[in-house]
Structure 1
Amino acid sequence: MHPGRQLGVLGLVFVVLYLAVFFLGGAKGSFTERLHPKLGLDLVGGTQATYIASVQGGQVPSKESMEQAKGIIENRVNALGVSEAEVVVQGQRNIVVSLAGKSEDQLKDLAKAAQMRFRLVVGATGDVSASALNPPSASPSASASAKPSTSAGAKASASAAAGAAKTPSASATPSASTTPSATPTPTPSETALPQATGDENVTVADVQKKVGPAAWAAAEKLTAPVDLSTNKQAGLPYAAFSKLDGAEVNVLSPQMQFNVPTISCAQLAARPNGAIDDVNKQAAVCYNGGKVLLDKAPVVGEDISKASPQLDQQNGQWVVSLDFKSDGSKKWANLTRQAFTATSSDPCYVAATAMYGSIDHCAVAVVLDKEIVSAPQIQGVLTGTSQITGQFTASSAKQLADQLNFGALPVTFASGPAQTVSATLGIQQLKAGLLAAAIGMLLVAVYAFFYYRLLGTVIFLSLILSALLTFGALDFLGRTIGFTLTLAGIAGFIVSLGVAADSFVIYFERLKDEIREGRSPRSAVSRAWVRARRTIISANTITIMAAVVLYIVSIGAVQGFAFALGLSTVLDLVVVFLFRHPIMTMLASTKAFMSPRVSGLGRVLRRTPTDVKEA
């Protein structure tokens, strides 16, 4: 063999790995900072968030639905990388998620229901609640008005979208694309009300009593948004509706939510989670600062077979590409055909005109939970792959795709308390663990040098090289796939040292056997390697298989232990083949290796006849 070639390959592996550590995978900061692996919750602390199940009427969710929700949230966390997050169900209504480091941004969207709905836009008007409650003394302005219509929200004219932005018309072509449309940005007024938890037992009778019979009767008679352009005082009879909170607004019909001028976007945003999930009902939602009325949802997230984030090559925008199931593709084609073939008298055509001005076709809103992601005009009948467009980044597009792929939560959740977790106890345990590991390594080194002498140097150098490979892999994987080093992971690496020590024993004892059989040390090295190699590979393969199985069937810290054990075992095999055997071949040619006192083969070499025959 040519040991220099194998050692050269090992050197190349080190160069490539540490170039990746210092310059790839989003490496930032100084070289010293780039050598810091990503540490887990027990070592550096982190964030712990609680999500409270929201069930209408105060009911308790079933145990099965909570376990299903826990599994979906775990999948969403895992999609962020091998972060060793802890996801547990506490009590009957709480799910607690813990992530290491500053992870508030990652945690905030984990418990979103991800209920995707595709709805035809059949009405559009502005959020004129402020004007309705405080009529200006000036003459009515078209920019703050909503023109009357003769049919339930269907005839809103272009001036009706007073608060809605006149964005360029979006499109959806048969080649499966929709041009980007702006994602709604909440205004301060839209976030003024607290989020409803969804378990308030509010009834229509309660709301009737609160707003009064006169206001309720006036609201029931509305068939279209109130026109403030001809009568600036027309909104005052509905003033009581502005006092309703999200849960109270939620019991109103979608038509009433849309038509009553004093119901604001802030109130609609404060409705409980799952407020507009019913596919058999219309829905009132805010989009670009104005209110829109959406038709029933013939296409839902369950009709999607696969969602994936993609970078649109034409405009450089991130989109989410959708592939529909067989039945879902038919439903999607029917919905886009309805939007594409609508005439100017159809409610959706008038609504699209109010939203975008001069238009050609109706718009279909892509609704995620309570928000419209985009509402493009449909420019053709779509039957194949389509795209969701909006102001996506790479991470937000991936997040939405993951939510759709892993499924919607069976229970809606409201965000509960979030707290910072201290790493004090973990740091103490880490110091104790590292001290124990150092003592163990020192004892292994002392024993290796005492028992194997020169061969002990090979053991020591192999362990150092394996540790350097492992450290570099840890650092790089932490930045690229989110692998987080915890106490359990450190335990996995320490256990792998025992596996590495076993391979040394197998090889060296096999070497002694070959010399006892009468072969010279030089020929015994190659022959011992051939016979020990199979045993070493088998032992390490079993360890790797055990680690893979443990990783698949476990969660949390145990999964981190399995990943660390499997990774370090693979790297140990690399060191065995590219360092241990070639370095032994080189040592076999030295005088020191032939010396019973220096080599560590003392008794064996003394018993071997001096006229041994070369094998």
Structure 2
Amino acid sequence: MAPPTNSQIKPGRTLLVLLAIILAMGATIALQKAFVPKFGLDLAGGTTVTLSPVLLDGKPPPSESIDQAVNIIRARVNGNGIADAQVARANDNIVIQIPGVGQQEALGLVSTTAELRMRQVLAVAASTNQPVQMPTTAPTPTGSGAPSATPGSSTGSTSSPSATATPAGRALSSALTAPTPTPTGSADGKNAKGGKKDAANADAKASPAPTAEPSAPVDNDPLAGQDTSGIDPALLTQFRDIDCTAKNRGQGLPDDPNKQIVACSDDGSARYILDKAAVQGTEISGAQSGTDSTTGEWIVNITFKSKGATQFADITRRITTLPAPRNQLANVLDGLVIVAPTIEEAIPGGSARISGNFTQVTATALADQLKYGALPLKFKQSQVTSVSSTLGQDQLRGGLISGGIGLLVVVIYLLLYYRGLGLIGVASLGVATVVTYSTVVLLSHNAGFRLSLPHIIGLVVSIGITADSFIVYFERIRDEIKEGHRTLRSAVEVAWQRARRTILVADAVMFIAAIVLYALAVGDVAGFAFAMGLTTVIDIVVVFLFTKPLMSLAARMRFFSKGHKLSGLDAERMGRTRPAEQTLQEA
């Protein structure tokens, strides 16, 4: 028996590639234990939030500002268009429907202004007035690597996003611990640039610097021992009086970027006097959540526009040599300090990262808020309600049954009309179904996709798209055979060359239509378009990686090559008068 040629091996390899893809998807689903997709608002319910604008002058809000807020909120709750969230304007109000989330999570996502400002710390103290230990000398950088203990919101830092041991422009964090801290060390003096420092700095690292010794307890003045020069006197009084342990600590209140402010940490453990904003959130060009490659903690990477990059480099360069706490740069979100790291060196390059006891959920939420911008108006929640599903499991079951009936009718037709060839078509539909379901599940648990009734309709309609593709191919094969000049093997290959162009053109037209509909529509219509575009891509994958290779293998089987009566390629079905085996013979 002659060894198999490359053309004989290729179909098997192609099928193995598809099998590997399916197994990889299945393994991912099993590891994530995500066997069922998440459902949309109509199938699983969610939360409805009505936002009303708050204006100090009592005048109606500008229509442009309402429209801008709608676009920002829609981007936050449905940024990629597949989460089935609904955002609509109702006169001057905004109505948001978010599937599968609770009221608090929904409120935190849609109502915050999300305006990040970076401000130099001028003074810091614990959240309430307590006797504190003040150092007699300022902390001096040493090579010990021990961070300075400073009141703050949480352990965190702002630094360049480099992943190396000595990242360029790294800003080392302060240890933000107990409300009544005692300085225990100093900020790490790593060479952030990864190169050689001058001799003076080298000597300073080699020789331990004297540690700060606390003096006797002073009175409960939070500003005792701190430099108050350059601070507005009114803020000093406000700083002494503010209680950051109270529930209402000013979250969501607009802070004037051109003025010094008093602010609390987001966890209520510390209070700050902050300078004018050095960098504003409008100068952020992008934000993305991720994990630190060395520590595994969740962080938010941010990139600045050209002006913001210059401002960030300038402020980090200016405060790096100042004594604590004025060498700290606070990241203020909606009037609360989320982290206030110590800056050791200037951070050029136009990018930085924020860390501070984030979870995946909180880091992703912050990144989304920063990425999609600040609301142009202040809003209040005039109504928040939990809504049940509008369709429920009965309607879902009915939709799936309808899709199953449609699939069964297609299968029966294929088997009656194409007989043996119909089995290849049925197998192609089965593979397309497995790939589609696996893709939907993976998107649901990794990209925020939520399956709603419009999606299901789009997926059911795609059955016809997939069936059309291999029907075109089968008819091309039969046309080649009817000419009477080709064997089945050659007919399969020549027919594929011709059918491939037709299949690609048809799918391209369908995909372009889906893209246009998805780009111009919102809500349910966009969901239908997404499902249609997704299944069009899957159709191409299945036809190229399964239907064609399987047909090439079938052409070598005697059942098809000799034109068996049940093969669908017999002489009678081909419309020929001579026996099929005279035309269909082994190559």
Length-normalised TM-score, structure 2 = 0.75
Partner of 1:180: 173
Is residue 2:368 matched to residue 1:402?
Answer: yes
Alignment of 1:566-605 (within 5 A): 566-593=533-560, 594-595=562-563, 597-601=565-569, 603-605=572-574
Q: 1:142 aligns with which of 109, 131, 134?
A: 131
Counterpart of 1:587 in structure 2: which amino acid? A
Is residue 2:574 matched to residue 1:609?
Answer: no
Distance 1:294 1:445, change over 3 A: same
Q: CA deviation at 1:535?
A: 0.9
Is residue 2:48 matched to residue 1:43?
Answer: no
Q: CA deviation at 1:94?
A: 2.7
Distance 1:266 1:61, change over 3 A: farther
Alignment of 1:472-511 (within 5 A): 472-511=438-477
Q: CA deviation at 1:267?
A: 6.0
Q: CA deviation at 1:326?
A: 3.0
Equivalent residues of 1:182, 1:374 under 8 A apart: no
Length-normalised TM-score, structure 1 = 0.71
After superposition, the C-alpha distances for 1:397-439 in whole angstroms (9 at most, x for unaligned) are: 3432332232222123334543333225243332332232222
Alignment of 1:185-264 (within 5 A): 229=219, 255=234, 258-259=237-238, 261-264=240-243
Q: CA deviation at 1:92?
A: 0.7
Partner of 2:116: 116
Counterpart of 1:178 in structure 2: which amino acid? A
Q: CA deviation at 1:79?
A: 4.8
Is residue 2:514 matched to residue 1:547?
Answer: yes
Q: 1:303 aligns with which of 283, 286, 291?
A: 283
Aligned residues: 506
Equivalent residues of 2:244, 2:271 under 8 A apart: yes
Distance in 2 between residues matched to 1:71 and 1:579, nearest whole Å: 42
Q: 1:294 aligns with which of 265, 268, 274?
A: 274
Counterpart of 1:72 in structure 2: which amino acid? I
Distance in 2 between residues matched to 1:170 and 1:544, nearest whole Å: 45
Distance in 2 between residues matched to 1:613 and 1:27, nearest whole Å: 50
Partner of 1:331: 311
Q: CA deviation at 1:463?
A: 1.0
Partner of 2:72: 72
Q: 2:479 aligns with which of 513, 517, 525?
A: 513
Q: CA deviation at 1:172?
A: 7.0
Distance in 2 between residues matched to 1:563 and 1:374, nearest whole Å: 39
**Match of 2:363, SS?**
helix
Is residue 2:345 matched to residue 1:380?
Answer: yes
Counterpart of 1:336 in structure 2: which amino acid? T
> Comparing both structures, which one devotes a greater share of its residues to helix?
1
Distance in 2 between residues matched to 1:491 and 1:531, nearest whole Å: 31
Equivalent residues of 1:547, 1:562 under 8 A apart: yes
Gaps of 5+ in 2: 1-5, 135-149, 161-166, 180-217, 222-231
Counterpart of 1:176 in structure 2: which amino acid? G
Distance in 1 between residues matched to 2:89 and 2:177, nearest whole Å: 33
After superposition, the C-alpha distances for 1:350-386 in whole angstroms (9 at most, x for unaligned) are: xx45xxxxxxx53322111111022233333443343
Alignment of 1:415-454 (within 5 A): 415-423=381-389, 425-454=391-420
Distance 1:441 1:172, change over 3 A: closer
Q: 2:328 aligns with which of 363, 377, 382?
A: 363
Equivalent residues of 1:122, 1:293 under 8 A apart: yes
Q: CA deviation at 1:39?
A: 2.2
Distance 1:524 1:419, change over 3 A: same
Q: 2:358 aligns with which of 375, 392, 399?
A: 392
Cα RMSD (Å) of the superposition?
A: 3.8
Counterpart of 1:180 in structure 2: which amino acid? S
Partner of 2:205: none
**Match of 2:285, SS?**
strand
Identical columns (%): 35
Q: CA deviation at 1:128?
A: 4.5
After superposition, the C-alpha distances for 1:476-533 in whole angstroms (9 at most, x for unaligned) are: 2222222222111111111111112222332222233223322356143333222222
Counterpart of 1:428 in structure 2: which amino acid? D
Distance in 1 between residues matched to 2:151 and 2:176, nearest whole Å: 12
Distance in 2 between residues matched to 1:535 and 1:97, nearest whole Å: 42
Distance 1:532 1:261, change over 3 A: closer
Q: CA deviation at 1:320?
A: 3.1
Counterpart of 2:334 in structure 1: which amino acid? D
Equivalent residues of 1:303, 1:324 under 8 A apart: yes
Q: CA deviation at 1:579?
A: 2.7
Partner of 2:86: 86
Equivalent residues of 1:170, 1:181 under 8 A apart: yes
After superposition, the C-alpha distances for 1:184-225 in whole angstroms (9 at most, x for unaligned) are: 999xxxxxxxxxxxxxxxxxxxxxxxxxxxxxxxxxxxxxxx
Distance 1:585 1:20, change over 3 A: closer
Equivalent residues of 1:46, 1:101 under 8 A apart: yes
Q: 1:279 aligns with which of 257, 271, 286?
A: 257
Distance in 1 between residues matched to 2:178 and 2:539, nearest whole Å: 52
Equivalent residues of 2:152, 2:339 under 8 A apart: no
Distance in 2 between residues matched to 1:485 and 1:292, nearest whole Å: 46
Distance 1:168 1:458, change over 3 A: closer
Distance 1:21 1:79, change over 3 A: farther
Equivalent residues of 2:171, 2:345 under 8 A apart: no
Distance in 2 between residues matched to 1:168 and 1:373, nearest whole Å: 10
**Match of 2:467, SS?**
helix
Distance in 2 between residues matched to 1:505 and 1:165, nearest whole Å: 67
Counterpart of 2:576 in structure 1: which amino acid? R
Say which is worse superposed, 496-505 or 579-588, in terms of deviation.
579-588
Distance in 2 between residues matched to 1:496 and 1:481, nearest whole Å: 22
Equivalent residues of 1:37, 1:474 under 8 A apart: yes
Q: CA deviation at 1:2?
A: 4.4
Equivalent residues of 2:37, 2:440 under 8 A apart: yes
